[in-house]
Each structure stands twice: as structure tokens, then as C-alpha cells.
Structure 1
């Protein structure tokens, strides 16, 4: 996955809110009647309602999160359901942390050539 796409996906407060909501779908979307929000995911319409934004706006944010690999989207009957990919988020954060630590170590301990 391209890190710049993932970083941009996390740069928006609305997208961070979506990830927070999807972290606990049973709490935030327990009223979803069409499917189990934990097993299948959360209907895009309910996500738009929770954000108090229009459906196209929510869809745009969800598409960015999907491109970054942070959520999966699955069609069931006539609706699309979104589910957070905790493993992908964890992997990204671990890689980012390692990259930052390695860069900091290189800056703090430059090689002695010369």
C-alpha cells in the first residue's frame, strides 16, 4: 500500500471519526436492522447519518479510507456495508513508527565517514 495515500486518509477529521465509529459498531450502529454491524459491517447510509453529512460526502470519505486499505466495503442485497480493517491499520501504524524511529536514529547517529 502507498503510505502517502494512507497518511492522507488519516489527515481528515471526518475520516478519523468514521474509523472511531467503526471501531465499535455494536455501540454506534446497534440499531442497524438489515445486517449485524459487527459481522457484515455498517450500512453507508447509517454512517452518513451518524456524521450528519449527505450520502455523497460520506461515500467520498469512505472511498478514501477504502483506497488506503483501512476499511472494506461489501455489497449485500441493495446496500453497501463498511467494516474497519484493524489489522491493516495496525500494520500501517507499526510501519510508520519503525520508519520514523529509523530516520530519527540515522539523524541522531550519523555515520562517521571520512
Structure 2
């Protein structure tokens, strides 16, 4: 069953952009010193920069996407890296009857 928080997460253009960029992180983000873009995810600093928002604003978007299971977070040193949870996204897509 779909949770209202998932619908809230998907109802924001910036969060949808994050999900789209993370589908192919190599095409959308520069190489990182720590963490592999595909295996570990993208550093929140790069996501905030690409969104053109402050780190706290990006963190709130990322927190909601992580809380709904659409993203997975991984700590490496003092940084948090994010990548899509493809199984969860596929389940939500099936429930919504669409693809994104």
C-alpha cells in the first residue's frame, strides 16, 4: 500500500529531479574523491550544488526520499552518499502504474 509520505516525496519537482539524476549518476555528477558514484552513491554536497540550494535544504529533500525508502544513504567519513533503491522504486511504480 502506498504511504502518503511517498506521494509527498513524489509531489516535488526537486525530489523528482534528484531521483532522475541518480538513475545515471555518472552522467550527472563529477567524479568524487571518496565513494564510487554507482556503488556508494552521490555525496549530498554535489546534490545540493546541482539543485542550486543550501545544504540544509538539500538534506531535507534527501531525508524525505530516504525515509520513504526511495533512496539509500551511506556514510563514508563525514559525508553521506545517496543512491536509488531500485527495488522500492519499482514497487512504487507498479502501485502507481507508471514509470519515472
TM-score of the two chains, using structure 2 as the length reference? 0.90
Inter-partner Cα distance in structure 1 for 2:76 and 2:89: 24
Q: Aligned to 2:32, what secondary structure does the other structure show?
A: coil
Gaps of 5+ in 2: none
- 2:33 pairs with 1:40: no
Q: CA deviation at 1:35?
A: 1.6
Gaps of 5+ in 1: 98-114
| Bigger RCO (CA 8 Å, 6+ sep) | 2
Question: What residue number does 2:79 align with?
Answer: 79
Q: CA deviation at 1:2?
A: 5.0
Question: What residue number does 2:5 align with?
Answer: 5
Question: What residue number does 2:30 align with?
Answer: 30
Structure label with greater radius of gyration: 1
Question: What residue number does 2:65 align with?
Answer: 65
Question: What residue number does 1:94 align with?
Answer: 94
Is the Cα–Cα contact under 8 Å of residues 26 and 38 in structure 2 kept in the other structure?
Answer: yes
State the 4+ residue runs in structure 1 displaced beyond 6 angstroms: none
Q: Aligned to 1:69, what secondary structure does the other structure show?
A: coil
* 1:42-79 per-position Cα deviation (integer Å, ceiling 9, x unaligned): 00001000111000000000001011110011111111
Inter-partner Cα distance in structure 2 for 1:74 and 1:2: 25
- Measured on the aligned residues, the alpha-carbon RMSD in Å equals 1.3
Q: CA deviation at 1:3?
A: 1.8
Inter-partner Cα distance in structure 2 for 1:5 and 1:51: 21
